[in-house]
């Protein structure tokens, strides 16, 4: 099922700038309000630089004890930098002194502070504020209807593709959300055709934006389905980063995670509600030499090993973008041949 998305705003920069044209910014904390007001007023009397406003944002985010939500290198400083550069429409070259030493005016400062305050008071991940997320070097549109892209499988994508015995060059990306996994695979291999599947129509609207952005409509399509319910074909690869968080883990998670779709994270008391269905049924939708690839997290991996002792999963640890495997990493991704699932 394809989706027409012409009514959606596709320019997040204009979105943010339009928002900041309001006369008054709503501050939910009196102390921050006073700091913001004083800082803005100082712009008229002093040479306030990009670095100055970054330092302000970093200080306030630390004071608010924000969770970095895996942004960049899990750094609140990088969060403040990114939001500042985004508001000013500058390239993301944080160490370039020409940008950092640039003076900013009162209007620009207000735009930046608006973004800081949303991050602090609403506990929104950076990506929901900017509507952009970087994954495997590619930029994806995101909003609150999809999980913020952060799957760690991407450092092994080339390995997975190169090890395949292809039959029909078809890939199914289950629980696709923004479509970042399936679209990245399509960009890596021009032969493959990818179906992006999700139960959420709103998530698929986001995925369709990203398909359009990379001009992949001839090879990538969206399917709305509750897992395999609307699937009748077979694939060489079924790949998924499904919900696998237990109810207790979800309830204990920081506020930033609770702004993401719960359906994309929480999967019952043991976190295996969705994975059980995938592991049990994937064999019916794989070609004979096909593979199931899944990111399941560390705690879910332990439960899967106990529940399915006879399935020959091949387990992988987190691999850094440099290619180096984390020394103390735990298993969090598995690959299983279709024959092993029988």
Alpha helices in the chain (DSSP H): 12-19, 30-42, 50-63, 76-88, 97-100, 106-121, 126-130, 157-162, 180-188, 201-213, 247-251, 255-258, 273-281, 298-307, 338-341
| Average pLDDT, rounded, for the chain | 89
How many Cβ atoms are within 10 Å of 48's Cβ, its own excluded? 20
Q: For residues 50 and 104, is the Cβ–Cβ distance under 8 A?
A: yes
Q: Tell me, what's the pLDDT at 322?
A: 64
Q: For residues 148 and 63, is the Cβ–Cβ distance under 8 A?
A: no
Q: Tell me, what's the pLDDT at 192?
A: 98
> Between 8 and 34, whose confidence is greater?
34
Q: What is the mean pLDDT of residues 21-27?
A: 45
pLDDT band at 2 (very low <50, low <70, confident <90, very high): very low
Model confidence, pTM = 0.88
Residue 32 is encoded by which pair of tokens?
């921050």
Q: What is the mean pLDDT of residues 227-255?
A: 97
- Measured over the CA atoms of residue 206, residue 208, residue 212 and residue 215, the dihedral's sign is positive
Asked whether the predicted pLDDT for residue 81 surpasses 50, the reply is yes
């Amino acid at each position: 099922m394809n989706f027409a998305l012409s009514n959606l705003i596709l320019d997040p920069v204009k979105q943010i700038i339009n928002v900041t044209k309001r006369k008054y910014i709503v501050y939910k904390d009196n102390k921050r309000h006073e700091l913001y007001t004083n800082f803005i007023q100082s712009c008229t009397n002093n040479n306030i630089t990009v670095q100055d406003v970054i330092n302000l944002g970093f200080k306030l985010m630390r004071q608010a004890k924000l969770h970095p939500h895996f942004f960049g290198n899990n750094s609140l400083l990088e969060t403040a930098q990114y939001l500042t550069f985004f508001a000013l429409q500058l390239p993301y070259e944080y160490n370039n002194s020409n940008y950092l030493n640039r003076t900013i005016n009162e209007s620009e400062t207000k735009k930046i502070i608006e973004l800081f305050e949303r991050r602090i008071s609403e506990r929104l991940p950076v990506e929901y504020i900017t509507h952009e997320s970087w994954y495997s070097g590619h930029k994806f549109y995101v909003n609150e209807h999809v999980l913020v892209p952060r799957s760690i499988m991407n450092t092994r994508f080339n390995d997975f593709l190169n090890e395949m015995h292809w039959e029909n060059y078809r890939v199914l990306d289950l629980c696709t959300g923004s479509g970042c996994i399936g679209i990245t695979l399509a960009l890596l291999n021009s032969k493959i055709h990818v179906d992006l599947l999700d139960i959420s129509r709103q998530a698929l609207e986001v995925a369709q934006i990203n398909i359009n952005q990379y001009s992949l409509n001839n090879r990538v399509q969206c399917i709305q389905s509750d897992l395999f319910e609307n699937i009748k074909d077979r694939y060489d690869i079924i790949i998924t980063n499904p919900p696998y968080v237990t109810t207790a883990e979800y309830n204990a998670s920081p506020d930033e995670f609770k702004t993401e779709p719960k359906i994309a994270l929480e999967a019952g008391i043991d976190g295996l509600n969705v994975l059980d269905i995938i592991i049990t049924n994937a064999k019916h939708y794989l070609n004979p030499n096909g593979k199931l690839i899944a990111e399941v997290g560390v705690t879910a991996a332990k439960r899967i090993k106990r529940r399915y002792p006879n399935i020959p999963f091949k387990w992988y640890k987190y691999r850094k973008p440099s290619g180096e495997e984390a020394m103390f990493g735990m298993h969090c991704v598995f690959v299983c041949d279709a024959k092993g699932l029988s």
